[in-house]
Amino acid sequence: MIHPLVLGIETSCDDTACAVLDGAGRVLSSVVSSQLAAHRPYGGVVPEIASREHLANWTAVSEEALARAGVRLRDIEVVAATRGPGLVGALLVGLSIGKAIAFAGERPFHAIHHLEGHLYSPFLRAPGDPEAPALPPDRFAGLVLSGGHSSLFAVTDGAVSTLAETRDDAIGEVFDKVGKRLGLPYPQGPRVDELAEQGTPSARRFPVSRFGDTLDFSYSGLKSQALQEIERLERTLGPIDLGATEEVPQPVLDLLAAFRESAVGQVLERLDRLHERRPFDLLAVSGGAAANRLLRGRLPAWAEAHGVDLRLVPLVYSGDNAAMIANAALLRHRRGLQDDPFAAEAESRIPL
Ligand code: KG4
Ligand code: ZN
C-alpha cells in the first residue's frame, strides 16, 4: 500500500459519504449512504433533515469505509472534507468531523471545494481496481454537470479557471423539475432519462438554447417549454401523475425524449463552441448528470470527431461521493498544500 492514506468526507447535500484512498489514488473503499427515503415525502431535499441524517449516519458510514479498506482511523494520514458549495448545515457536519479527526490525530487537513472533487473524478478508478490511476494531465477541459451546476473549466497545472456556468437552472435540476411536474418521486433525473429512452425525440422539437454566442449554459427556457407542453398534453390526456401509474402514455415518453435531446444537444453545442475558440486535447466529464444515457452515448463520437481524448467519470463516482473529495485532497497534498482546520469554514456559495 502506498502512503499517505487519505480519508475523504462528503456531506454537502443529501448523501453521507466516506472514502479511503491510498497514496497512489487507488480507492480502497467508498461508502455512500443515501437519504432518499427521508426526503422523498417532501419531493426534494429538506436542509434540516439532511443535517440530522448526516449526524445519525456518520458512525456507520465511516466504520464501514474503514472496515472495507482494512484500516483503522489511526492509520489515516491525511484528512479531507467538503467545505462547499452546498447546504451549510449539512456541510458543517462533515467539515467539523474532518477537522476534529485531523486535529486530534495531528494530521494534515484539506477543506475541498465540491466541484474540484467532481472535476478530477473522471481520473478515479473503480473501487478494488488494482491499477493506480493515471495522473491528471497538466492541461485539460472539465465539464461538470450536476443538480447545482453546469460548468466548463480549464485546468492548467492545477490552476482552475471557470469558462462557463449556467445563467439560470442547472441541467440536473431541470430533469428533476420536469419529472416532479409529472409526479415522479425525487430524484427525478435518472427516471426521466430512463423514460426518455422509450420515446421518439423527433415526435416534437425543443430548440437548443443558444443564448447569443456565450459559452454559458441556460436551461430555464427549455424547462418552461417542457412544462407548457405537459400542460398542453394534460388538456387532451387529463391529469398526468406518473407516481401513481405504471402506464406512461406515449406522447409523454416522446415529450421526455425531445426534452432530453435538447438538454444534451446544448451540452454538445457548448463543447463545439469551446473547442473552436480554445482547442483542448482532453475532456473530463463528471457530475450526477454525467450519468445521463444519451450524453454518455453521444460524447465518444463527439470526442472522436474533434480529436479529443475523453474521460467520462465512472458511473459509481458520477453522483456525490467521498472518493472524489479524497482524490482532490491527494492532488493538493502532492503539491505541498494543506489547510488550517481552524480557519476552514463551510460556505453555501463559493467560486472555484
Ligand atoms: O452531482 P450530484 O449527485 O449532486 C450535485 O452536486 O448536484 O448530481 C445530482 C443531479 C440530480 O439533479 C439528478 O437528477 C441528476 O444529477 N441526474 C441525472 C441523471 N442521474 C442523475 N440527470 C439526468 N440524467 C441522469 N441519468
Ligand atoms: Zn455534486
What mean pLDDT is predicted for residues 137-164?
A: 96
In the block, residue with C-alpha cell 491528471: 136
Q: Interhelix angle for 293-305 vs 250-277, to 10°?
A: 30
Is 176 touching ligand 1 by the criterion CB < 6 Å?
Answer: yes
CA distances from 299 to 201, 272, 276, 308 (A): 18, 12, 16, 10
Is 175 touching ligand 1 by the criterion CB < 6 Å?
Answer: yes
The closest-lying atom of ligand 1 relative to the alpha carbon of residue 293 is 26
What separation in Å is there between the alpha carbon of 14 and the centre of ligand 2?
10
What mean pLDDT is predicted for residues 201-213?
A: 87
Give the model's pLDDT for residue 8. Answer: 99
* Closest ligand by atom to 114 CA: 2
Residue in 16, 119, 146 to alter for ligand 1 test, most ligand atoms within 8 A of Cβ: 146
CA distances from 136 to 7, 124, 159, 293 (A): 20, 10, 12, 25
Give the model's pLDDT for residue 159. Answer: 93
What mean pLDDT is predicted for residues 161-179?
A: 97
What separation in Å is there between the alpha carbon of 144 and the centre of ligand 2?
9
The closest-lying atom of ligand 1 relative to the alpha carbon of residue 118 is 1
Assign 144 a pLDDT band (cuts: 50, 70, 90): very high
Handedness of CA 141, 142, 145, 148 (dihedral sign): negative
Which residues hold their Cβ within 5 A of ligand 2, which is an ion? 146, 320
pLDDT in tens, 34-49: 999 999 888 889 999 9
Q: Which residue did the predictor score with more confidence, 249 or 128?
A: 249
Q: Which residues contact 192 (CB under 8 A, 6 or more apart)?
A: 175, 178, 179, 182, 184, 256, 259, 260
What percent of the chain is modeled with pLDDT above 90?
88
- Give the C-alpha separation, 53 to 179, whole Å: 25
Assign 213 a pLDDT band (cuts: 50, 70, 90): confident
CA distances from 240 to 178, 197, 232, 233 (A): 12, 19, 11, 9
Residue 128 has pLDDT above 80, yes or no: no
